[in-house]
Chain A
């Protein structure tokens, strides 16, 4: 009987360990509870800006609901002091040709969304990593700039991280 009880306790500990482990690692449930499925978030690592005005906006959708959105409705290039150098609104982003958006994965591609001539923005499915080719219509002076995107909820921040990246034009 002793053996049976020891086996039962070992398996109880295994199952409970998996449950608690997944809870802590996936949601930090025992420390600072975080659910990454609540709000869309974007990572702009890999974004590049060139002096001829070409912006290769590299977006990874890193959080939010798995079945819907997010939608990027504003892309900004800012001076380090926060003044806007140039921006693209949802109207412009939604009217981009699909060929200007290069998706890493063939499934669930990011795409421009428009209703007739009304541009809405760029649909960014969860997990997709894509590059949007954008063109500023003038030369950009060497220096440091901030590239930022806004979600359709009006925010450029979620889970304590801003949807922006610092780029250098040489």
Chain B
């Protein structure tokens, strides 16, 4: 193993990393383990209904897409399964510190993607905007910092410090 120096800042990143990952991974846990009816189109708990509540003040091109999806139940179901799967995969990767940069980018897109659709919702504390902007900014930060402490990326880095190379281009997965 190569000798690796870890910056001080890197050692404090896990303070946020696991919480951030859990915000997404727990969405999968809630829908698949805690309350499976959330993904049952026949149930009144079906999360598809949430999309309906986004409609009134969703931004204009997004609103049209949401209406289209709501009028095609199969499409809606596929969308929910895909979104839940992405939350599970990227969330777990963030918690484990595996391919943190890729996960950070994915989570930033998921979080910010909620902004034009559900960003106007929030009866207590302009909630959805806070979720979208804080989680988006945090995830983007991890895309830039990567993860060099208490992470699988740390192990990968110590074994393969040069990362993945395709030709002369280095892909900074860790």
Contact of A126 among B52, B141, B144 (CB under 8 A): B52
Q: Does A26 interact with chain B (Cβ within 8 Å)?
A: yes
Identify which of B46, B52, B71, B73 gathers the most chain A CB atoms within 10 Å of its CB: B52
Task: Check A108/B52 contact, CB under 8 A, given A19-B137, A23-B133, A66-B121.
Answer: yes
Task: Check A36/B56 contact, CB under 8 A, given A22-B129, A66-B50, A107-B48.
Answer: yes
Identify which of A25, A38, A66 gathers the most chain B CB atoms within 10 Å of its CB: A66
Q: In the complex, which residues 144-161 of chain A have their Cβ closer than 8 Å to any Cβ of chain B?
A: none
Residues of A within 8 A of B126 (CB): 23, 26-27, 29, 35
Contact of B115 among A26, A60, A106, A127 (CB under 8 A): A26
A25 to B70 CA separation, bound complex (whole angstroms)? 24
A23 to B133 CA separation, bound complex (whole angstroms)? 9
Shortest CB–CB separation between residue A63 and chain B, in angstroms? 6
Q: In the complex, which residues 31-61 of chain B have their Cβ closer than 8 Å to any Cβ of chain A?
A: 46, 48-57, 59
Q: Does B123 interact with chain A (Cβ within 8 Å)?
A: yes
Residues of B within 8 A of A16 (CB): 137
Task: Check A108/B49 contact, CB under 8 A, given A23-B129, A26-B115, A27-B129.
Answer: yes
Residues of B within 8 A of A36 (CB): 56-57, 120-121
Interface size of A by CB at 8 A reads 32
Output the nearest chain A residue to B133 by Cβ-Cβ distance.
A19
Task: Check A26/B129 contact, CB under 8 A, given A37-B122, A105-B70, A107-B48.
Answer: yes
Q: Interface on B for A, CB 8 Å cutoff?
A: 46, 48-57, 59, 70-71, 73, 112, 115, 119-123, 126, 129, 132-133, 136-137, 140-141, 144
Q: Interface on A for B, CB 8 Å cutoff?
A: 7-8, 11, 14-16, 18-19, 22-23, 25-27, 29, 35-38, 60-63, 65-66, 105-108, 125-128
Query: Besides the contacts A15-B141, A23-B129, A26-B57, what 8 more A-B pairs have beta carbons closer than 8 Å?
Result: A18-B133, A22-B115, A26-B126, A37-B121, A38-B123, A60-B56, A105-B52, A126-B52
